[in-house]
Structures are given as structure tokens and as C-alpha cells.
Amino acid sequence: MNKKLNVGIIGLGRIARSGHAPEISAHLDKFNLAACADIEPERLKNLPKEFEKAKKYHSLEEMLENPALDLITICTRHACHVPMALQIMAAGKIAIVEKPVATSVAEMELLRIALKKYPGKLYFRHNRRFEAPFTKARQLIADGLIGDVQYIKLCRDVGYSRRNDWMTMTEFYGGLLTNWGPHLIDQALCLLDSKVVDIWADVRNVISIGDGDDLFKIILKAENGRLADIEVTGANTIRGRQMEIIGSRGTIVYNTGDDKIESRYVDPSIKFKKLSPHPENPPFRYGNFDETLSFVESKFDIPAISMDIYWIHLYNAIVKNVPFPVTFDQAWNVVKIMEDVFKKSGFQPIKKFIPQKINNEFSEVARNKQP
């Protein structure tokens, strides 16, 4: 019989109610939503059905006193993620950190120190790593369908909205880069499959009521020559392609909302011959007049993968010691790139953000390591 893990949720906003709670409850053979907490009393009222049996608490500190809890997933505002993760780990429980997993590389280093002291007590929720279209695209690339990957374009149009909640305010580390950036940067790094050696970025506020960004573009160049073009906007009224990947033998595209991935690629039976260019004037047509290529156009079904698969990976890592797909170094790289993007773009409002001061054993160790 499988061991059931008792889960607590800290922060009862939108992502807790529409994401974490229903995903956990989809695997009742593995998890029990046993507790929840929020500092706002009103948020503990009128909770969705998934919280019916959960004990209610008014703070993380109160919830940590529950000896039955195995893990706590953090669904609070961004600046609280690392301080709360450190508290949870120090209490002997497992911390699940929602994105952005940290507001700086310095915070990630605190988590690194904590993880060394409390191994197996920290996991990051880069759940878009497991999106069905992205998973299928990775499989097609691995199968060699489009040859050597050269260019990757990842886009999200989150809907035209003059958004005005705290997530649009840089004093709370808000904006689209800190919200959607971790998802697509993580996906890009998976597809680049090599160290990033150069970054170009533009981050701007177009229509958002808060001073945070609502449109950003990032170009990452990897050591292996691959290029990733990442674009997210809340100011586009017409949705475009979500994914476009160009290889040496073809292209993969995915349009938002489609149930299939499309690809057009050189017929696999064709082997490229070794040819030389002609210095003389060409015939009156464009292209290569020494060969004729044929192409295959295919549509591939997107696998029936639900986003709650994250929790299966998590369970297997905790209970069965299966390596978790999202490593610490991968999460660190995402945070580093976000930090670099803000610097390179010159986006000034983010300077208003002041990280929470963390005073504990881990920050003391980090200070002692400074030269």
C-alpha cells in the first residue's frame, strides 16, 4: 500500500485554489490535503471543496506545529517564498516552492545552504516543464524529426488586460517577467540543452496599471549555437503561435489552443549530398538547382498529460527516491537569467523592490562565506 503524504498549503489565493489544491486532490491515493493557512481571516472562509477536511491556521508558524504534516507548498507573494521555505525546512518538513522560486541568486544561495543541511527537503514547482505540447515537442526533437535544433521561439499572450493587482507592482516583485518568465525560461533552457553564453533583453510596461512589466522579450544564445527567443505580453489583442522550433531538416509549430502539433520536414529517406556552390550566374529560379527535396507535413496528437503530473513526479521523488526532474541547479539558472534580464534591459521600476531581510542560520553562513 502506498504511503500517503499529508500536505499543507500556505497562502490561499488564486494559485492555491485553482492550481495546487485541485492538483493535489487528483491524487488522493498519494496525498492528503491536511492543512491550510493564510494571514487574512477572510481567505480561510468559503474555500473550495478540496479544503473540506483541511485544518485551518492563521500563520505558517501555527501550521508548522502540526506534527502530521509531511510537506508544505508555498503559494504566497513572491518575496515570501524563500523565507518561508527556510522556515519549513528548519522545521523538518518538505518545502515546495512556487515560481518565482527566489527573487535573486543571493536567495538561491541561502536555499543551497539549507538544502545541504536538510537534504531532500526542497522542491521547485516549475510545472510548465510538463506541459503536454512542450513534452511532445521535446520527444519529436529527440527523435531527430527536424534535425539539429537551431532556433527556438516560445511565446505567451496572456490576454490584453490593464491589470491592477499586486502582481503588477514592482515593490512586490511583480510583473510578467517574474510571473511567466520562470516558466518559459525553464522551457528554453531545456531546449537549448547547453550553457547560456549571451543574453539580450527588453522589458517594458505598456498598459499595466502597476509599474511592473507587461511585455518582455529575451534572446538567449547557448554555447552549442542554439538560439532561444522568448516573448510574453499582456498587451497583445491577437494571439499567435505559442511555440516554433526550427531545425536543420524542418520546423515544429504549436498554436495556442490546438490539439495537435504541426511539423513540416525533409523526407527522412533523403540524405543530403555533399555539394559545392556555383560562382557563375544561376538559372532564373531560386534555390538549389542540383537537388530536389520532398517534404512531409504531419500533425501529431498532443499526449493526454495533465498538469497535475507534477505531483506524481514529486511523490515518486519523496517516497520512491526517483530523481526529481527539476534540479536545484536548473532552478538556480532560471533565477540567474531573470536577474540578468532585469539588469541588461535597464528596466528601472524593479529597483523599487526591496527583498525581505532574512535572519537565520543560513543567512549567517552565507555572510561568513563572503570574501
Strands of the sheet containing 31-37, edge to edge, are 55-57, 31-37, 5-10, 71-74, 94-98, 122-125
What separation in angstroms does the CA of 175 have from each of 134, 187, 237, 265, 354?
24, 19, 18, 38, 15
Q: How many other C-beta atoms lie within 10 A of the C-beta of residue 198? A: 11
What separation in angstroms does the CA of 147 have from each of 12, 142, 150, 205, 252?
45, 9, 9, 38, 11
Residue 294 dihedral angles phi and psi, to the nearest 5°: -120, 150
Site of grid cell 515537442: 137
Rg (CA), the chain: 23
**Confidence (pLDDT) at 360:** 65
94-98/122-125 β-pairing: parallel
Share of the chain above pLDDT 70, in %: 96
Nearest to 329 by CA among 101, 79, 85: 101
Helix extents (H) in the chain: 14-15, 21-25, 60-64, 81-90, 105-117, 132-142, 176-179, 181-192, 309-320, 328-345, 361-368
Stretch 207-216: mean pLDDT: 96
Residue 371 has pLDDT above 60, yes or no: no
Residue 337 has pLDDT above 50, yes or no: yes
pLDDT band at 151, cuts 50/70/90? Answer: very high
The mean pLDDT value of the chain amounts to: 93
**Confidence (pLDDT) at 181:** 97
What separation in angstroms does the CA of 246 have from each of 137, 147, 201, 251, 286?
11, 9, 21, 4, 21
**Confidence (pLDDT) at 110:** 96
Question: Structure pTM?
Answer: 0.94
Q: How far is CA 312 from the centre of its chain?
A: 17
**Confidence (pLDDT) at 363:** 56
Q: Which helix (H) or strand (E) holds 8?
A: strand 5-10
Predicted confidence (pLDDT) per residue in 269-307, tens digit: 999 989 888 888 877 778 887 888 999 999 999 998 999
**292's grid cell:** 530536389
Predicted confidence (pLDDT) per residue in 6-23, tens digit: 999 999 999 999 999 999
Predicted confidence (pLDDT) per residue in 121-143, tens digit: 999 999 999 999 999 999 999 99
Stretch 325-345: mean pLDDT: 97
Q: In residues, how long is the chain? A: 371
Domains and CATH numbers, the chain: 5-127+308-368 (3.40.50.720), 132-301 (3.30.360.10)
Predicted confidence (pLDDT) per residue in 32-79, tens digit: 999 999 999 999 999 999 999 999 999 999 999 999 999 999 999 999
Indicate the DSSP class of residue 164.
-
**Confidence (pLDDT) at 291:** 86
Q: How many other C-beta atoms lie within 10 A of the C-beta of residue 311? A: 24
Residue 370 has pLDDT above 80, yes or no: no
**172's grid cell:** 512586490
